[in-house]
Structure 1
Amino acid sequence: MTRILHVLDHSLPLHSGYTFRTRAILKAQEAMGWHVRGVTGQRHAAGGEDAAAAVVEVDGLMFYRTSGTSAGLPLVREWSEVAALADRIVEVAGEWRPDVLHAHSPALCGLAAVRAGKKLGIPVVYEIRAFWEDAAVGNGTGREGSAKYWLTRVLENDVVRAADRVVTICEGLRQDLIARGFAPEKLSIMRNGVDLQLFGDPLPRDVALGVELGLGDGPVIGFLGSFYPYEGLDDLIAAMPAIVAAVPDARLLMVGGGPAEADLRAQAAASPAAGAIRFVGRVPHHDVDRYYSLVDVVCYPRKGMRLTDLVTPLKPLEAMAQGTLVAASNVGGHRELIQNGVTGTLFPPDDPAGLAAAMSGLLADRSGWQARRDTAAAYVRAQHDWADNVRHYDSVYQALLPISQRPVAAA
């Protein structure tokens, strides 16, 4: 049986979009009959969970940890992380003997895998979920055009060049790599998917929770996720007075937290529509379905920038699978997932007035809601079910392995 060692920045039990995609991939690959494990770098320890453990089992998945902490001057610190992770990969390989190293962004993971792969004579697949220099700009921790921005881009290019095969999560990222001069035949797409065992069976409306939150009869607009500047939640809050003027019973439910939370709460408190906006903070992952059950339309007002134009988010797919209507800004990452007027509603980015007009129109006319919910859920089942999507890895691995080692997928 083919063994795939996934090289990761962090993993479960930490909760993030990154760890949930990882879980979905590993679980789906296991279901196909492949043997999979993960190894995380020193940055996982920053989360504080199982930091001292060498090996942990979480949700039936095995993860090896890299000891030590990330410290020191910039560049020296990063190279130290790469060296430590590469050494840990080699150590794990001596025990478990993987056939493929499958590294996931950021580039530091890819660099460690490439270094270890050369030493071990094992092929390396590098998977890009986002360009991390663009993610830093979107998170407000970096500046486009800075020395750090370009250094990160150079490192990414080095990993793409050195890896045996490269996969991205969407066409936007793939086309950007082709524009940089990389051969299209080296690049594959492994689209974001949804574990329909977790998201395919929505709960009925949690009436008691709705009363507790004071949502009334709605309709309820929701955002469930991380509060980063690039998510454009300030535009959604700015649109609420116009939305409430058009649909007086409309409410906004904000579930989650993050770097922008304090500013967003202050903006909401000062809004003429403050009485229609509810913040509930972060909730346990197993309770997220209860909050989804209260939401009529999930809104993703991402700002227009390189990050959002190139990268497809996971949350809209999860919402569609839950049978919830989706509205989103008309940026490239959303256009790959949402067909306006068919599977969702698109509105102009960075434009609270345009957002308000689109949402007010959608909320005022419910006649087509169920048909759109059904169409969107069918789209996710057909195009973004991890149980099917994971099969696309098969051709990538097969191209790298001798015939005797090639994976045989379960029927």
Structure 2
Amino acid sequence: METSDLRIALFSGNYNYTRDGANQALNRLVGSLLGMGAAVRVYSPTVEKPAFEPTGDMISVPSVGVPFGRGEYRLAIGLGRKVKRDLERFQPNIVHLSSPDPASHAALRWAQDHDIPVLASVHTRFETYPRYYNLAFMEPLVVKLLKRFYNRCDALVAPSDSMIEELLEMEFHDDITLWSRGVDRTIFSSEKRDPEWRRSLGLEDDDVAVVFLGRLVMEKGLDVFAETIVQLRKRQVPHKVLVIGDGPARGWFQDNLPGGIFAGFKTGADLGRALASGDIFFNPSITETFGNVTLEAMACGLPVVAAGATGAASLVDDGVTGRLVPPSKDKHENAERFAEAIAPYCTDPALRMSHGAAGEARSREYSWEAINQVVADTYIRLIEHRRALQEAEAAEAASA
């Protein structure tokens, strides 16, 4: 079977209406697959004014706004007759699910009814989200539901070795392939550093800027980031804070990060310039399965201080390209550990430059073309395995 024989029905909870790392990877994947000659149909919630134009053909699925102050996201609630008719016309030979929402559950049932293999991609640590909204007691239930969903699929792909280890340990599946992430080196590079842009924000040439990049939502570890900055100030470590991004928790972050410089939401060349104009990248999040922003920061020549959790643990070489800090359930203890790891970079330019250069060199190993070919190969493997089973069943029935 050739890649050009693939007919992929891809279900996404957010393909393009709000920009995030997961849908950037999915759009890249679809672009690669189309370039290989495959046919792809994307099914996702839609809005009147999406964040960017989708790659490939997209069909809208029924959805509602997400509660708990996350109205910028939509929950795909099912397929509906229109989507089912479109699936029948498209006749996919593989179904790819990228979010464990109700629509993906329905798509999984549809695929099983039609004897079509299903691949699921894991993009975030959904089971960790309840702890950021005072709902930690729900975490075991979420794990149980996710485990049931993923084990009904034929295989999984996950973006880091550390995430695969976590999934295997939680018994989410036993067939899990590494689908890593790439970085666009035309956008992210140390050469994009812009002293004039820094000065326009009030950063002097000798200021050391600790950078946060991402959507401003609590599950990104905003509370730990803010507490770490408090610890740095208590220790009188010279630094400034540069926040790149926006989101519903921006007001909270500004209130708890006095003196922080908020550059706002950036994309493309503006994002590359802003990130490269920082000095240290700090990522306290434990919800990442890969950490696109961590790889982008490395490509920009910034040493990375991150939680030693899924994602960053597979990217950051501790003591070489940055520091990995073992996460603790005690927020104050976390902040003290992070402050201890960040402080040397604030005061030692040679260390900062050495680890930043090592990270930039490491980032060159991540090529989108080779990475996305892995997914295409996994599709083909699952389809050929299903066909072999069907042929064996047919032969057995004929001989009965």
Under TM normalisation by the shorter chain, which class is it? 0.7 to 0.9
**Aligned 1:2-401 pairs, distance under 5 A:** 2-40=6-44, 44-45=45-46, 47-49=47-49, 58=53, 60-67=55-62, 69=64, 82=77, 84-85=78-79, 87-138=81-132, 140=133, 143-146=135-138, 149-181=139-171, 184=174, 186-191=175-180, 193-197=181-185, 199-217=187-205, 218-230=207-219, 231=221, 232-242=224-234, 245-247=236-238, 250-269=239-258, 274=259, 277-284=260-267, 286-302=269-285, 307=287, 311-347=289-325, 349=327, 350=331, 351-382=334-365, 384-401=366-383
Structure 2 distance, partners of 1:180, 1:199, is 37
Gaps of 5+ in 2: 68-74, 389-400
TM-score (ref. length: structure 1):
0.78
Distance 1:31 1:200, change over 3 A: farther
Amino acid at match of 1:236: T
Closer, same or farther: CA 219–69 of 1 in aligned 2, 3 Å? closer
Shift of 1:376: 1.6
Q: CA deviation at 1:68?
A: 6.0
What SS class does the counterpart of residue 350 from structure 2 fall into?
A: coil
SS in 1 for 2:256: helix
Cα 1:371–1:108 change in 2 (3 A) is same
Count of matched residue pairs? 368
Contact 1:30 1:36 in 2 (8 A): yes
CA distance, structure 2, for counterparts of residue 105 and residue 279 of structure 1: 31
User: CA-to-partner distance for each residue in 1:43-66, whole Å, 9 max, x for gaps?
Assistant: x34x54369xxxxx9254221112
Residue 118 of structure 1: how far off its partner (Å): 2.4
Q: Which amino acid counterpart does residue 145 of structure 2 have in structure 1? A: L
Amino acid at match of 1:5: A
8 Å contact from structure 1 (residues 90, 120) kept in 2: no
**C-alpha separation between the residues in 1 aligned to 2:229 and 2:177?**
38
1:8 Cα shift?
0.6
Change (3 A) 1:348 1:164: closer
Write out per-residue CA displacement over residues 268-295 of structure 1, whole angstroms, 9 at most, x where no aligned residue.
33xxxx3xx3123334555212211320
User: Is this contact kept in 2: 1:222–1:296, CA < 8 A?
Assistant: yes
- Structure 1 counterpart SS, 2:8: strand
Contact 1:348 1:355 (C-alpha < 8 Å) held by counterparts: no
Change (3 A) 1:81 1:372: closer
Residues 221 and 164 of structure 1: is their aligned pair in 2 closer, same or farther, counting only changes over 3 Å? same
CA change 1:68–1:312 in 2 (3 A) is closer
CA distance in 2, matches of 1:222, 1:182: 34
% same residue: 20
How has the CA–CA distance of structure 1 residues 195 and 179 changed in structure 2, closer, same or farther, with 3 Å as cutoff?
closer
Partners of 1:154 and 1:33 in 2: CA distance: 38
Uncovered stretches (5+) of structure 1, i.e. residues with no partner = 52-56, 73-79, 407-411
Could you tell me whether the CA contact under 8 Å between 1:172 and 1:333 is conserved in 2? yes
Structure 1 residue 239, shift from structure 2 partner: 3.0
Is contact 1:28-1:390 (8 Å) kept? yes
* CA distance in 2 between partners of 1:380 and 1:112 (Å): 38
Determine the C-alpha separation between the residues in 2 that align with 1:196 and 1:280. Answer: 21
Q: What is the TM-score of this pair, normalised by structure 2? A: 0.80
Kindly provide the CA deviation profile for residues 320-355 of structure 1, in whole angstroms up to 9, marking residues without a partner as x: 122222222333442222111112123454433333
Contact 1:345 1:358 in 2 (8 A): yes
